[in-house]
Amino acid sequence: MAETVVSFASQHVLPKFLEAVKMLRDLPKEVAEVVDELESFQDFIHDADKVAEAEEDKNRRDRIRKRLMKLREAAFRMEDVIDDYVICDEKQPEEDPRCADLLCETNQNSNPSPSNSVSDSGCYDTCWCGKSSL
């Protein structure tokens, strides 16, 4: 029974766990990309404001302004999400050796990735979180 549970975990749970760890490791890069996109979004809104002001047709100008208001609200929500991430990230300790230990233990029980080599200690030289093994 225990072998079945371990087999199931290594075939189904462990890959999902490692995928989640990779997603977390890539999160700062993804947030940086969203910040860049938000800046472009805000530039577009600023330029569209100028177009709306120059529009002579009052009805068309009002429609453009309503759409711009929705875009601004979306941009504010994006800023709020980014701010929440930054605040959460700042609360995390700079270095947490438990991360490397946990992932090395996990990697010891799974097949090694071709990009990771096993050190004398049995732990991969680079863990899934990108930190060097201890």
* Section 28-52 average pLDDT: 92
- Radius of gyration for the alpha carbons in the chain, expressed in angstroms and rounded: 24
3-class secondary-structure state, position 118: strand
3-class secondary-structure state, position 38: helix
Question: Sorting pLDDT into bands at 50, 70 and 90, what band is 116?
Answer: very low
pLDDT of 129:
45
pLDDT of 65:
94
The Cα–Cα gap between 116 and 15 comes to 16
Report whether pLDDT(55) > 80.
yes
